[in-house]
């Protein structure tokens, strides 16, 4: 089943709900059905209370991680008492005859930043698309917040707290910054929109300055901020970012990584796909290396940063 096809299915699926219908309508205007599914899959604003407890839990978990003898493996993390937010076991994904994801297993614990690194074509984006329901695994299991989500539609996953900011930041080009953000909250009660906007603008003051600007005229870095902000509007439990630093100047890359750390400190658990391995590993609690569809290595961010194979392959020696 092709990518576009599953994207459209995700849109159709939610068309019965007023919010989702608005998304589908906007997609027509933007001329991109795929983008609608992603807006559906995007989502951000944890309540202040949740942020506060999340930050505390994050700190506690860092201590637990330090105590874990094998924080790299799923069992190691479980043994340390960490709560698994996402648990992926033995998934396989195909594009026709191409076997893109091969027996992949990994987990993300509450309060972590987990990085997924690897070369072009390794299967990182395919993994995220499978988690957000845009592609399906033929085997294994995917649990999110304690529930099996293998057969749950993409737009329903947003409502459950799984937000996906795709590669290439597909914002609604013809809508304003603020309209894009409002779309991100379509799974939330109307009363959450205004406080959600305030929280996003606190993380991204640049978006506040440009709230009335048409999204298509934003710079690449600003569009990345908007895509992240839109995802945050759905108050996600897990924020999945696909190559947020791609194509940005070094100063903007620094800024984006800074914001990722701020979101984490405010209580959001993050799954970060990056080709910028240096930056990703330096902020990650744990990380996995993917090569041609398989996970070949895992460990704490620090362990992988100092691993000889990783240094040679992804860190320029």
> Interface residues with Mg ion (CB under 5 A)?
125, 167
Distances (CA, A) of 135 to 4, 61, 120, 128: 10, 31, 19, 9
126 near ligand ATP, judged by CB under 6 A: yes
Q: At its nearest, how many Å lie between ligand ATP and the CB of residue 288?
A: 12
Distance CA 257, CA 248 (A): 12
276 near ligand ATP, judged by CB under 6 A: no
Q: Binding pattern to ligand ATP, positions 182-211, x when CB under 6 A?
A: ------------------------------
Give the dihedral of Cα atoms 137, 139, 144, 148; nearest 10 deg.
Answer: 110
251 near ligand ATP, judged by CB under 6 A: no
Residue number of the CB closest to Mg ion reads 125
Q: At its nearest, how many Å lie between Mg ion and the CB of residue 7?
A: 16
Q: At its nearest, how many Å lie between ligand ATP and the CB of residue 281?
A: 16
Contact 248, 172 (CB under 8 A): no
292: left (phi over 0), alpha (psi -120 to 50) or beta: left
Q: How many CA atoms within 13 Å lie on the side-chain side of 91?
A: 30
Among 14, 76, 118, 166, binds ligand ATP (CB under 6 A): 118
- Write out the DSSP string of 145-188: TTEE-TT--HHHHHHTTEEEE-TT----TTSBHHHHHHHHTTTS
Comparing CB distances to Mg ion, the nearer of 125 and 137 is 125
Q: Candidates 15-23, 66-74, 113-121, 203-211: pick the segment binding ligand ATP (CB under 6 A).
A: 113-121
Determine the 3-state secondary structure of 78 from DSSP.
helix
98 near ligand ATP, judged by CB under 6 A: yes
95 binds, among ligand ATP, Mg ion, none (CB under 5 to 8 A by kind): ligand ATP
**Residues at the interface with ligand ATP (CB under 6 A):** 3, 95, 98, 100, 118, 120-126, 167, 275
């Amino acid at each position: 089943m092709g990518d576009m096809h599953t994207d459209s299915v995700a849109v159709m699926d939610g068309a019965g709900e007023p919010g989702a219908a608005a998304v589908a309508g906007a997609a027509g205007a933007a001329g991109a059905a795929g983008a609608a599914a992603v807006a559906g899959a995007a989502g951000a604003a944890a309540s202040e209370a949740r942020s506060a407890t999340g930050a505390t839990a994050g700190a506690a978990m860092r201590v637990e991680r330090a105590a874990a003898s094998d924080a790299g493996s799923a069992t190691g993390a479980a043994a340390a008492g960490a709560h698994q937010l996402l648990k992926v076991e033995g998934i396989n994904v195909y594009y026709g005859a191409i076997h893109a994801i091969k027996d992949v297993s990994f987990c993300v614990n509450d309060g972590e930043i987990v990085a997924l690194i690897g070369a072009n074509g390794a299967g990182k984006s395919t993994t995220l698309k499978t988690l957000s329901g845009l592609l399906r695994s033929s085997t294994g299991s995917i649990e999110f917040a304690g529930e099996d989500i293998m057969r749950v539609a993409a737009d329903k996953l947003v409502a459950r707290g799984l937000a996906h900011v795709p590669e290439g930041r597909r914002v609604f080009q013809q809508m304003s910054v603020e309209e894009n953000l409002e779309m991100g909250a379509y799974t939330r009660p109307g009363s959450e929109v205004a406080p959600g906007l305030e929280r996003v603008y606190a993380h991204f003051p640049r978006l506040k300055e440009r709230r009335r600007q048409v999204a298509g005229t934003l710079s690449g870095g600003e569009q990345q901020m908007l895509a992240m902000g839109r995802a945050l509007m759905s108050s996600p439990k897990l924020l999945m970012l696909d190559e947020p630093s791609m194509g940005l100047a070094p100063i903007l890359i620094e800024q984006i990584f800074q914001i990722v750390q701020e979101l984490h400190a405010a209580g959001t658990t993050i799954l970060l796909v990056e080709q910028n391995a240096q930056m990703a590993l330096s902020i990650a609690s744990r990380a996995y290396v993917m090569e041609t569809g398989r996970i070949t290595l895992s460990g704490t961010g620090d362990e992988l940063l100092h691993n000889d194979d990783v240094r040679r392959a992804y860190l320029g020696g």
